[in-house]
Amino acid sequence: MATAIDKQHDGADRQTIRRHGPATRITHWTWAIALFFLLLSGLQIFNAHPSLYIGEQSGFAFDNSVLSIRAVRGAGGEVQGVTTAFGRRMDTTGFLGASGPEDSRAYRAFPGWLTVPSYQDLATGRVVHFFFAWLFAATFLSWLVASLINGHLRRDILPTFSDIRGLPRSFAEHLRFRFHHGRSYNGLQKISYSVVLLIFFPLIILTGLTMSPGMNAGAPWLTEIFGGRQTARTIHFVVMLLLVGFFAIHIFMVFAAGPINEMRSMLTGRYRVDPEATEGGPER
């Protein structure tokens, strides 16, 4: 992330800096596209067997699921969508298990508008998922190498002691929607991005590889690390939900902090900063 100050001024008191380099911008949008299709095709794959387990054993002969989303026929003959998590049953008719209008209800875990393709097609879902999975992994590796070389990881992602010490203040300011447009990320942003980029992304890649029979033969230690293929599948699903939650918060914060400025920084690299952010200190 380059932060040299341009000669251009946006208004009387705000200057524009070059905040994001080409590598950061390209990987950001590649991840956004890849994760979109990974989510929808992943839900298509989940629909083929809508249950999650811990360990190695799974299947219709076992009753050890930690999560299941199914259509169940009730005592009165009606079909309901039922989601069971850790033994607790919830009626999710209309969205999960049994979705859509009553006269054209679909009986599968996730509704068609949340899957790729929209109809039940495991083979196509797997093709789409694997393509974008490899794209996602290659992009992550490219970002990691580039960030180590240009210093982006050390300078902009990894939080310092000062960042951690200032977390309570940063958190309180975010709750009050008081945003500072500085030369670099604040502590809350750094920790969030560190968790996503250095924990969630590697986890979702490694658990995806653990579910591959080919990788089980070539790297059996992966299965041992995650406690079995079914545990890896469950972790994969949970990390996906966490990434969806992060994405929702990320989009909300973009709009709250100023969508034009935030989007411009990820499209052109240019970012408007507060006056105090350009006063004093060396340029980088």
Report pLDDT digits (tens) over 130-142: 999 999 999 999 9
Q: Once rounded to an integer, what is the mean pLDDT over residues 189-211?
A: 96
Domain ranges of the chain: 5-50+115-278, 51-109
What is the per-residue pLDDT across 232-245, written as a single tens digit (0 to 9) for each? 999 999 999 999 99
**CB-CB contact of 18 with 269 (8 Å):** yes
What is the per-residue pLDDT across 31-47, written as a single tens digit (0 to 9) for each? 999 999 999 999 999 99
Q: How confident is the model at residue 14 (pLDDT cuts 50, 70, 90)?
A: low
pLDDT at 58: 56
Neighbours of 149 (CB within 10 A): 10
Mean pLDDT of the chain: 87
**CB-CB contact of 172 with 143 (8 Å):** no
pLDDT at 283: 33
What is the per-residue pLDDT across 55-86, written as a single tens digit (0 to 9) for each? 766 555 556 789 999 999 877 778 899 999 99
pLDDT at 64: 75
DSSP codes, 82-102: EEEETTEEEE-TBTSSSBS-G
Q: Which of 42, 66, 68, 69 is nearest to 54 (CA)?
A: 66
pLDDT reading at 282 higher than 70: no
pLDDT at 46: 97
Q: Is the peptide bond before 117 cis (omega within 30 degrees of 0)?
A: yes
pLDDT reading at 110 higher than 90: yes
Q: Which of 141, 269, 282 is nearest to 205 (CA)?
A: 141
pLDDT reading at 11 higher than 80: no
Q: What H or E segment, with its residue span, contains residue 77?
A: none
Q: Once rounded to an integer, what is the mean pLDDT over residues 247-253?
A: 95
What are all long-range contacts of 174-179, with beta carbons under 8 Å and residues at least 24 apart? 174/253, 177/256, 179/256, 179/257, 179/258
Is CATH 3.40.50.2300 correct for 5-50+115-278? Answer: no
User: What are the φ/ψ torsions at residue 16 (nearest 5 degrees)?
Assistant: -110, 130
Residue 106, SS3 per DSSP: strand
**CB-CB contact of 252 with 158 (8 Å):** no
Burial 214-247 (b: 16+ CB within 10 A, else e): ebeeeeeebbeebebbbbbbbbbbbbbebbeeee
